Amino acid sequence: MKPCVAVTRRLPEVVETELAQDFDVRLNSPDITFEPSRLAALLYEADGILCTVTDRFDGSMLSAGSLRTKILANFGVGYDNIETEAARAAGLVVTNTPDVLTEDTADLAVALMLAVARRVGEGERMVRSGEWHGWGPTQLLGTRVHGKTLGIVGLGRIGHAVARRAAVGFHMRILCHTRHPPDRETLDSLGAEYCADLDDLLARSDFVSVHTPATPETRHLIDSRRFATMRQSAFLINTARGDIVDERALIEALSTRQISGAGLDVYEQEPSIARGLLELDNVVLLPHLGSATVQSRVAMGRRATENLRAFFAGRPPPDLIT
Ligand code: DGY
């Protein structure tokens, strides 16, 4: 008998086909996000669950007892949607899908950096609304990206890939802040400087790009006090997780021009977006597209499938979190 695997969201067709070769799959073809009660029920119905960032498995669900599910194979590198300590305590294995989405997510961070600095969103809205009446020497003047200073908060795989693009492609000076200082070789390869103090990085950066994982320690890491340390000409980019940035403080900083602008792919209360953000012109808003390429999403699906295969074959899953 094949293990029963519930897949919480529609995946690229090739991934669903491959999953069905090894598992008795329960697909979500309508792709409607499951309510918490449905997710809780799945824990009693399936041997494994292939879940995504939109599925929150919290402690109360995971500690309910006598669960059938033995593995949560998360489709994504971030796994803050799962209370991993509770999963471990309940004897569940949790896996993620690192590496395969690094380059595409880094591309999107750079896209946001360019979009907000060069006012791409405003320009697009102007054209579509019929408000563009021709070229003008002072129209929609933005800020040069080339040669500026980029502060990277969290120099993991994605942060590193963004720093590489910025250093090589845009000749930017790279500052970075991480919990543990990177080794000399990593810093030298990027021509980067390590800032032990995040405030120091914020005060010296023209662009700040957030790439740290979402944990209780990083919640509201960038708050009103930290916005006050940033340059008035600076831009904040967030492609990591919404709650790393205090969104209320961000709206305040953007509307009072305490900072110049922001490019966001993630939000505190996804998918709802604070009205204050929607009303501002100096912020570019994307719908969590970081890994949204065919290539990344197929690779993420295959990586999650491989984790499930290994687990049910009695081997350690390659991307074991807990
Ligand atoms: C990730 O991989 O963490 C993306 O944000 C989608 O979950």
Beta strand ranges found along the chain (DSSP E): 4-7, 24-26, 48-51, 71-74, 93-95, 149-153, 173-177, 192-194, 207-210, 235-238, 261-264, 283-285
First to last CA, the chain: 26
Task: Give nearest CA residue, ligand 1 atom 4.
Answer: 76
Our mutation pick for probing the ligand 1 site, out of 11, 80, 105, 210, counting the most ligand atoms within 8 A of Cβ, is 105
Residue nearest to ligand 1 atom 1, measured at CA: 76
Q: What is the pLDDT of residues 292-317, one digit of tens each?
A: 999 999 999 999 999 999 999 999 99
Segment 127-181, tens digit of pLDDT: 999 999 999 999 999 999 999 999 999 999 999 999 999 999 999 999 999 999 9
- Residues sharing a CB contact under 8 Å with residue 183, sequence separation 6 or more, in sequence order: none
Three-state SS for 61? helix
Q: Which tokens belong to 26?
A: 């329960």
- Ligand 1 contact via 76 beta carbon (within 6 Å): yes
Q: Above 90 in pLDDT, residue 262? A: yes
Q: Which atom of ligand 1 is nearest to the CA of 52?
A: 7
Ligand 1 pocket, residue 301 CB under 6 Å:
no
pLDDT tens sequence across 6-20: 999 999 999 999 999
pLDDT attached to residue 282: 98
What is residue 65's predicted lDDT score, i.e. its pLDDT? Answer: 85
pLDDT of amino acid 320 = 98
Q: Mean pLDDT in the chain?
A: 98
Mutate to test the pocket of ligand 1, among 52, 56, 77, 103 (most ligand atoms within 8 A of CB): 77
Confidence (pLDDT) at 216: 96
Atom of ligand 1 nearest to the CA of 77: 2
CB of 78 closer than 6 A to ligand 1?
A: yes
Tell whether ligand 1 has an atom less than 6 A from the beta carbon of residue 290.
yes
What is the model's pLDDT at position 238? 99
| C-beta 291 within 6 A of ligand 1 | yes
Total Cβ atoms within 10 A of residue 162: 29
pTM of the model: 0.97
Task: Read off the pLDDT of each residue in 239-253 and give the average, rounded to a whole number.
Answer: 98
Q: How far is CA 202 from CA 141, 176, 210, 263, 288, in A?
A: 24, 10, 11, 16, 24
Sheet containing strand 24-26, strands side by side: 24-26, 4-7, 48-51, 71-74, 93-95
Q: What is the mean pLDDT of residues 212-231?
A: 98
Q: Please report the domains of the chain, with CATH numbers, ordered by start residue.
A: 4-100+294-312 (3.40.50.720), 102-285 (3.40.50.720)
Report pLDDT digits (tens) over 49-65: 999 999 999 999 999 88
pLDDT digits (tens, 9 = 90+) for 181-220: 999 999 999 999 999 999 999 999 999 999 999 999 999 9
Q: Is the CB of 98 under 6 A from ligand 1?
A: no
**Which residues form the catalytic set?**
241, 270, 288
Residue 240 alpha carbon, nearest atom of ligand 1 = 5
